[in-house]
Amino acid sequence: MEYLLLETDTEKYWYELTNERYATRQILLDEYGEIHISCLEDCLAEGSVDEADLEGTISKISKEEFDSLWYKYIRKYVNLWEETKKKYPIGTSVQGVYKYFYPQGSIIKD
């Protein structure tokens, strides 16, 4: 995994990238100071991330730095996530509205 921070004039993007350059987790600080995280919203980069296509300042960051931010922002959702895992154990059939498809799984809203 590789971890990047992209800073533009108005936004910041933190990426967790696979060896194939696909984002598995992403954090966005938008121009209004709002945080968006890819496990809750459709804000994960589509396709492989090519640094040559990104506009702004790119810095390599550590896994620890990324994880520190990630867990800071998802902290308030931990109890909800634990309840959801109990309600829908792996292998459970679900019905709902298909929201997003990511390489690591789909997001379904019931």
Rounded Cα distance between 79 and 9, Å, is 35
DSSP tag of 54: -
pTM of the complete model = 0.81
What digits encode the pLDDT tens for the residues 90-104?
Answer: 888 888 888 777 766
Percent of the chain with pLDDT over 70: 97
The per-residue pLDDT for 14 is 98
Q: Tell me what the mean pLDDT of segment 85-92 comes to.
A: 89
- Is it the case that residue 105 has pLDDT exceeding 80? no
Produce one character per residue of 45-63: b if its CB has 16 or more CB atoms within 10 Å, e if not.
beeebeeeeeeeeeeebee
Q: Domain residue spans in the chain? A: 2-109
Write down the mean pLDDT value for the chain. Answer: 90
- Is it the case that residue 68 has pLDDT exceeding 90? yes
